[in-house]
Every structure is written in C-alpha cells, then in structure tokens.
Amino acid sequence: MARKFAGSKLVIASHNKGKIVEIRQLLGAYVSDIVSAGDLGLPEPEETGTTFIANAELKARASAIGSGLPALADDSGLAVTALGGDPGIYSARWAGPEKDFDMAMRKIETLLAGKADRSATFVCALSLAWPDGHCETVEGMVAGSLIWPPKGDNGFGYDPMFVTDGMLESFGEMEPEAKHAISHRADAFRKLVAKVFA
C-alpha cells in the first residue's frame, strides 16, 4: 500500500530552475506550498546511484531529511539507442559545470555521425521521500528520435533536439502545455499522482 502525501508543503529537491518551474506547473493542483532545495539553502547531494530511480531516491531523501518536510526529486535524462543508452544518468554531467546543453547536444550529434539509428528515449524517475526516509517512486518515459540542428527555445536541456514519436515539433518548439501532455515527466507525474496524491 503506497503512502499518501497529506501535507500542504513540499520541497522540490532540485536547483535546476527549468525543472522547478515544470514541476510547479505539474503539481500546483495538488500542493499549495512548493519550495525548492535551492530556496532552503540545501546542498545538492552527489548522485552516486547507477539508475535514474536510485538517484531520484537519493536526492529526495537528502532534501526530506535536510528540511524535515516531504521532498520530491526527479532524475531524468536522455538515453540514446546508438550510444548504448548514453548519456543516460549522466545527461546533466555531459553539459559540464556551466550546464552548457548546446555543447552537450553537439557532443551527441558528433558521436552519432554516420549512425543510421537516431532513436532515443527520455526517462524520468520521480521519488517522493518523507523525513523518516520512506520513498514512493515511479518512472516514466517517452520514445522519439533526435534531430539536427536543434529547434526551439522552449523547454530546457536536450529538448530542442528531441522529437517524440508521432509529432513534428521538437520539445523545444512545443508550448509547455503541449509538452506536459506527452513528456516523460508528465508520464511519471501521472503515475505519481495516482499513487500518492489521488
């Protein structure tokens, strides 16, 4: 039996402004008071997990214990088929300390040179942790392919080079509402809402 979220205040265990905005939009109907780990001055823990789920749980627990409040963490990334699933859990690290995703997208494009398979999957693990260490975790994903050059200024990260199956626009070109309807994060949020907020 899943533990239900019963409070009114939730910490988003992230310092990524784009991710925080997106999570606020997705969870606003269920939680009245949302703050980020950055707002509370909580440090970002080292991501030592080997899966999206392990890293989401690690980050959620660190913020829940550090704040004394329930905390939600997301660990997400781009898994490129022809690159053996890379950058995967290292998606943010490929952008370097400056979070230069233009550079990270160029790196992927360079590695894909001459490869016919441009399929990729965006993966998102969401973990809600309580200060006692209990976690409820789900994983969502969306399949698509990579385009070059990147298109669009909406979204963040690798969004401008990812087109989900059956669509013509990249995630970077989509309006937020359209992306929220189909993204890996939206898939994970649907599962999480059904599990702990419904």
Work out whether the CA dihedral 139, 144, 149, 152 comes out positive or negative. Answer: negative
Q: Is the pLDDT of residue 70 over 90?
A: yes
- Average of per-residue pLDDT values in the chain: 94
Q: Are 171 and 161 in contact (CB under 8 A)?
A: no
String of b and e for 68-95 (b: at least 16 CB within 10 Å)? ebbbbbbbbbbbbbbbeebbbbebbebb
CB atoms within 10 A of CB 28: 10
- The pLDDT of 147-158, averaged and rounded, is 94
Residue 166 is given by DSSP the state T
Q: Give residue 61's pLDDT band: very low, low, confident or very high (50, 70, 90).
A: very high
Q: Dump pLDDT digits (tens) for 14-46.
A: 988 878 888 888 888 899 899 999 999 999 898
DSSP 43: P
Q: Rounded mean pLDDT of 105-133?
A: 97
H helices present in the chain, as ranges = 17-27, 52-67, 101-112, 176-182, 184-192
CATH code of the region 9-197: 3.90.950.10
Model pTM?
0.91
Spot the catalytic one: 39, 74, 75, 117. 75
* Mean pLDDT on 50-79: 96
- State what percent of residues in the chain have pLDDT above 70: 100
- Compute the distance between CA of residue 105 and CA of residue 10 in angstroms, rounded to an integer: 32
Say if residues 192 and 138 touch (Cβ distance below 8 Å): yes
Q: What is the pLDDT of residue 155?
A: 82
Q: Is the pLDDT at 139 greater than 90, yes or no?
A: yes
The predicted pLDDT at position 180 comes to: 85
Q: Active-site residue 75, yes or no?
A: yes
Q: What is the mean pLDDT of residues 44-72?
A: 96
Residue 102: per-residue pLDDT: 96
The per-residue pLDDT for 4 is 95
Determine the Cα–Cα distance for residues 66 and 64; give it in Å rounded to an integer: 5
